[in-house]
Structure 1
Amino acid sequence: MHQFLTPLVAILGLWLGFPNPLGQVPLLALLYPAALYACALRASTWQTALRSGWLTGMTAASACLYWLAVPVHDFGDLPWVLAVPCAVVIGAYVGLYAGLFCMATHLFRDRTSPLRRALLAGVLWFLLEWLRGVLFTGFPWLSLSSAFVPWPVAVQFASVVGGYGLSGIMAAIACLAYESLHGRQTSLCAATLSGFTLVICAWGIMTLSTPLPQSSPFGALMIQGNINQDQKWEAAFQKGTVDKYLALTRQALGGERPRLVIWPETSMPFYFQEHKTYGPVVRDFVKENNIALLIGTPGYDRKTGAGYALFNRAYLLGADGETLGHYDKEHLVPFGEYLPPGLNLPFLAKLLQGVGDFTPGTRTQPLKLGDLALGMLICYESIFPELALQRVADGANVLVNISNDAWFGFTAAPEQHIQLSAMRAVEQGRFLLRGTNTGITAAIDPHGRIIGRSNVFVDAAVFVTASPLSSRTVYFHIAAWLPLAGVALALLLLLRPVRPSA
């Protein structure tokens, strides 16, 4: 019975703990590491543990990432019977880390006490999440701690240990809960579990009760154009797109006077830098309304010799309509912005943005607007902790994420995306302004609280007040050392092996 029930608990825990079409219950996400832990301890061999963990993780991740099949079907023109396996392939990759977790947990099952075993499982979870975030360009989706963003008190400790570190602590809590109900050292495991929980909650309560600094507050207006993904790259619709963004912005300016207006990723679906019709129209609008405007658009630079390098670009226009600077996206989406070598297949080529293969940018410095230093994150760059940290290291006092999640339709993808983005705000102690084409457009405060948001697939204008902040979190200072510290802690927990009982 256990061989079927335990994996089912893990699958349902992950699916219900993260955003899904039915409703999210964050606490249920802890059932995932707890059930995987149980599978590992009960397995007869490490091969069985690996297989059980991988199959369970693959099923759970595929269920959560079901939305990956939507663009393949809708824009790649593949039937569902061929589109769904694309989501399963990614789920299988994410599930592999669950398999490795189970295998390693089984291997040290009899070498440690129940307490150290549960703690070691938490460290292992942290290291595997970190590894998944950096290996093969990185895919840190479904990071355990991000499931708790709807409960801000639970995620404040990410400002100390980061999202991956907090995931490790939460996994340790889940495994300690299992040990508290089974086997030896139940009281000691329960006490340790209570201690971890108390630290996370106390830190969260203390942090949330401390008022945010109000240095130089400014108004920001994010415009959600809700442009149909099927049409946005068609030349015939470019005028309509420009007119719509101008009209939505003009209407919103009637009630608010922001210092900065943000249009989303590729909101201007043409080469803004050279367009002799729509470029001047937008610049004149900026001058007439005396606002700064951040826009997403394709860009290009001439290569040395011949040809052009294409970029997913963000331009910042000053109140005089002149360009103050630009940022080129550095971490590109495989299959969405470039095709990996050897995978230049027709249906995959249809998933590329309208201009074709992009080139990674190399300039990460903030875009400057007076005392504002805007650290740019385009699209899914906001799911990578190291990118947000680099922006702050370069001097950013506000984070800005422009994105286009229209590819994924009415699915859980936008909600999963914004919860990952919220973790970056907590880790770096910065306001994060998020402008998207179809939602979720929002602002997130340094405590990960969403202080303004739109619905999906509607025209929207979101006005918020934010502040540029210059202080740096504990996590900012120690992030580079955390993986090494995790390895050292794992070795320390394994130093004194327990002799297996006869």
Structure 2
Amino acid sequence: MLKKTFYSALTSLLLIIFWPGIFGFSNYHLNFSFLFAFIPILLVEHQIRFGKGKNKFFRTFFYGFISFGIFNAGTTFWVWNAHWSGAIATVTINGGLMSLVLALYGWTARAHSQKIANWAFVSGWLALEVLHESWAFSFPWLDLGHAFASSPLLIQWYEFTGHRGGSFWILISNILLLNFLIESKTVSTQNLSNNLEFSYINFKKNIKSLRPIMILWLIPFFLSVSIYLSFKSDESKQKLGAIIQPNVDPYTEKFETSDQQLARTWSKILKSKFNDKNLDFKRDSFEAVPDVIVFPETFLHEGMMESHASNFKSLHEFDSLLALYPKTSLIVGAMTYEILNSKTKTSRNIGGSKKRYIDIYNSAFVMTNKRPVDFYHKSKLVVGVEYMPFGSFIRDYMGEMVLNFGGTTGTLGTQNERDIFSLADTSIKLAPIICWEQDYGDYVREYANKGANVFAIITNDGWWGNTLGHVTHMQYARIRAIENRRWVLRSANTGISGFIDPRGQVFQAMTWGEKGIKMRVFGVNNQKTIFTISGDLIGKAGALLFPFLLLSVFVRKKVF
């Protein structure tokens, strides 16, 4: 048992060791450890399958949970800083689902064949990742394709497949390597409870059989390097952007200053910045005033009624800035609300009235001189903080208390369609992406497919403290840039703000604890990648194949 536990833990170590953010904001240009990280736990399953004893399904699940429970804990422990329940839920739910895929892989191998089991493992894991795009406990953070976020040199081909292509690459590489080790008798699992036997003689004898695996490893790498070196984006019209990082503690400072005071302070800072004639970024072809200025998520926190936004004093402070610089547009994060005459799935009644309801939103809005304010509502919500799972169903039995149950802020309102902001410079079509939304690859690509030619990601990563959480979050944004070949302007309340080009390179980064404004030239790209147009085909194929494989194996077992 100790040996199996060790090998189970070894898989988690191999998955954690180079996960984005573990060693800070660094690039891992040649990071191949994920391509063999599953081998130890797959060997444990193999020994259980051919060994003695009952309850093989549950034993496989148990050792799988050691692997994937540690993996989840080691990469998401920082969630505890926001709330302990989130960390526990992540380890138990996500670790349990990953372990279930492993257990079903073993069951398929015992009931049918190794070949069918291989496809069950690959398709099952892909199906799990697709499930995490939309179900009640949605959590795409540990999608395997995200593992290469800090290795942009390796994943330029994501423009064809999206990050799910990376997940498939990892899964199929591990399965093929396992098959080689077992079939060549390089590794014997019969005595895994005592020793893992490695035969160098058998390995040397069958080394030619490794060629297909090496090709599978190297072709994506050389293809990616080639794309990286030759990449040229259609960015004939260059723009100037600015990002703001206020560096405010979300637990204390954030709520001590009024929205009006915040808007007034930063308007003065920006005016001073624009009037500085010694700006480093000023060039002959550009004015010193940006085309777009991006503020972070919930920069304005007090709550703004959208239908009466023009009456709010905080926006009047920005009006004076925009009057001076009418060619500039502002992207601002804010908590907003709307008073409704009819009930929605996320609204709550006001003062017990059954005729008046309020919907609250985590929003982004665009301000341009002498134009109405346009709003977008965050629609991928953080479970337990912004969204109560099964809230509308539970509310029918528990009433309005579900909206404030367990210390959450309630279920916020959302919207069905992606909105694209039009700016003072009408050639810029900007996608407002709020925090957690950036981690959903298929969701983000919908913006580009609808015509967005630049992404603005606004976030508040301070909830997690100075841990790897905010670093990992920044790294994932690089994948979204590569998948859709769009510039990303990322503004964090605190964490890491910066500009990301279509190859995933980061410029003008402001790190944890840094307050300021950064400006940079960026390009607008109207071309669409294959992934932008087609979406997550690999994930959808896995999600369709997995239940079909399980059903066919179940029927075969019953009949034969």
Per the TM superposition, whether the score is higher than 0.5 is yes
Which residue pairs with 1:211 in the alignment?
232
- 1:228 positional shift: 2.0
Q: CA deviation at 1:174?
A: 2.9
Counterpart residue number, 2:69: 58
The aligned residue for residue 196 of structure 1 is 216
Pairing partner for 1:442 from 492, 498, 514: 498
Matched, 1:43 2:48: yes
Q: 2:383 aligns with which of 324, 327, 334?
A: 334
Between the aligned partners of 2:57 and 2:549, the Cα distance in structure 1 is 22
What residue number does 1:222 align with? 243
The counterpart of 2:295, out of the listed 257, 263, 274, is 263
Counterpart mapping for 1:317-466 below 5 A: 317-318=367-368, 320=369, 322-323=371-372, 325-340=374-389, 341=391, 344=402, 348-349=406-407, 352=409, 357-369=411-423, 370-466=426-522
Is the alpha carbon distance of 1:459 and 1:494 closer, same or farther for their aligned partners in structure 2, counting shifts above 3 Å?
A: same
Q: Equivalent residue of 1:451, what SS?
A: strand
Pairs within 5 Å for 1:272-291? 272=304, 273=309, 276-290=312-326, 291=328
CA apart distance, 1:407: 0.6
- Secondary structure of 2:140's counterpart equals coil
2:122–2:542 contact (8 Å) kept in structure 1? no
CA distance in 1, matches of 2:69, 2:465: 23
Q: Offset at 1:488? A: 6.9
Question: Cα distance, 1:227 vs. partner?
Answer: 1.6
- Post-superposition shift, 1:135? 2.6
Instruction: Map Cα deviations across residues 197-235 of structure 1 (whole Å, 9 max, x no partner).
Output: 222112211211222222211111100011221345536
After superposition, the C-alpha distances for 1:55-77 in whole angstroms (9 at most, x for unaligned) are 321122022111111022xxxxx
Shift of 1:380: 0.3
Separation in structure 1 between the aligned mates of residue 41 and residue 269 of structure 2, nearest angstrom: 49
Q: Secondary structure at the match of 2:375?
A: strand
Aligned equivalent of 1:176 = 176
Question: Is 1:17–1:27's contact at 8 Å kept on the other side of the alignment?
Answer: no
Query: Partners in 1 of 2:132 and 2:207 — Cα distance?
Result: 34
Matched residues in 2 for 1:447 and 1:194: separation? 25
Q: Note closer, same or farther for the CA distance 1:449–1:20 as it changes in structure 2 (3 Å cut).
A: closer
Aligned residue in 1 for 2:558: none
Change (3 A) 1:241 1:133: same
Are the equivalent residues in 2 in contact too, given 1:402–1:436 (CA < 8 A)? yes
Paired residue for 2:262? 241
1:155 aligned partner, one-letter code: I
Q: Residue 154 in 1 paired to residue 175 in 2?
A: no
Mapped partners of 2:181, 2:90: distance in 1 = 34
Partners of 1:241 and 1:363 lie apart in 2 by 30
- Give me the whole-angstrom Cα distance separating, in 2, the residues matched to 1:346 and 1:316: 30
3-state SS of the aligned residue for 2:134? helix
What secondary structure sits across from 1:270 in the alignment? strand
Distance 1:203 1:66, change over 3 A: same
Distance 2:21 2:446 in 1: 31
1:294 matched to 2:363: no
Cα gap change, 1:37 to 1:148, in 2 (>3 Å): same
> Could you tell me how far apart the structure 2 residues matched to 1:117 and 1:7 are?
19
Distance 1:223 1:6, change over 3 A: same
> Would the alpha carbon gap of residues 458 and 240 (structure 1) be closer, same or farther in structure 2, given more than 3 Å must change?
farther
What residue in structure 2 maps to residue 33 of structure 1? 38
Q: What SS does structure 2 have at the residue aligned with 1:461?
A: strand
Q: Which amino acid aligns with 1:43?
A: I
Per-residue Cα deviation, 1:234-293 (whole angstroms, up to 9, x for no partner): 365445433442344335433243111001111122345255432211111122133211
> Hey, what does 2:144 align to over in structure 1?
144
Per-residue deviation, 1:188: 6.9
> Could you tell me how far apart the structure 2 residues matched to 1:389 and 1:55 are?
35
Q: What's the CA shift for 1:371?
A: 1.2
Contact 2:239/2:523 (<8 A) preserved? yes
Q: What secondary structure, in the 3-state scheme, does the structure 1 residue paired with 2:38 have?
A: helix
Three-state SS of the structure 1 residue aligned to 2:383 is coil
Q: Does 1:310 align with 2:372?
A: no
Q: In structure 1, how many angstroms separate the alpha carbons of the residues matched to 2:551 and 2:215?
A: 22
1:406 partner letter: G
RMSD: 3.0
Aligned counterparts of 1:156 and 1:39: Cα–Cα separation in 2: 34
User: What 5-or-longer segments of structure 1 have no aligned partner?
Assistant: 73-82, 497-502
Q: Is the 8 A contact 1:327 1:363 kept in 2?
A: no
Classify the secondary structure of the residue corresponding to 1:434: strand
Residue 441 of structure 1 and its aligned partner are, at CA, apart by 0.8
Q: For the Cα contact (< 8 Å) 2:133–2:140, is it kept in 1?
A: yes
2:42 alignment partner AA: Y
Amino acid at match of 1:289: Y
The CA deviation string for residues 421-476 of structure 1, in whole angstroms up to 9 with x for no partner, is 22222222222221110021122222222233210122022222222212222223
Alpha-carbon deviation of 1:357?
A: 4.8
Is the Cα contact below 8 Å between 1:16 and 1:29 reproduced in 2? no
For the residues of structure 2 that align with 1:346 and 1:124, how far apart are their CA atoms?
35
* Pairs within 5 Å for 1:102-121: 102-109=102-109, 111-112=112-113, 121=121
**Which range moved further: 251-260 or 375-384?**
251-260
Distance 1:487 1:345, change over 3 A: closer
The Cα of 1:15 is off from its aligned counterpart by 2.2
| Contact 2:363–2:378 (8 Å) recurs in 1 | yes
Q: In 1, Cα distance between the equivalents of 2:526 and 2:73?
A: 40
Aligned-residue offset at 1:193: 1.6
Cα distance in structure 1, aligned partners of 2:62 and 2:491: 41
Question: What letter is aligned with 2:214?
Answer: S
Does the 8 Å contact 2:9/2:66 carry over to 1?
no
Q: Is the 8 A contact 1:224 1:263 kept in 2?
A: yes
2:13 aligns with: 12
SS at match of 2:332: strand
Structure with higher Rg: it is 2
Partner of 1:95: 95
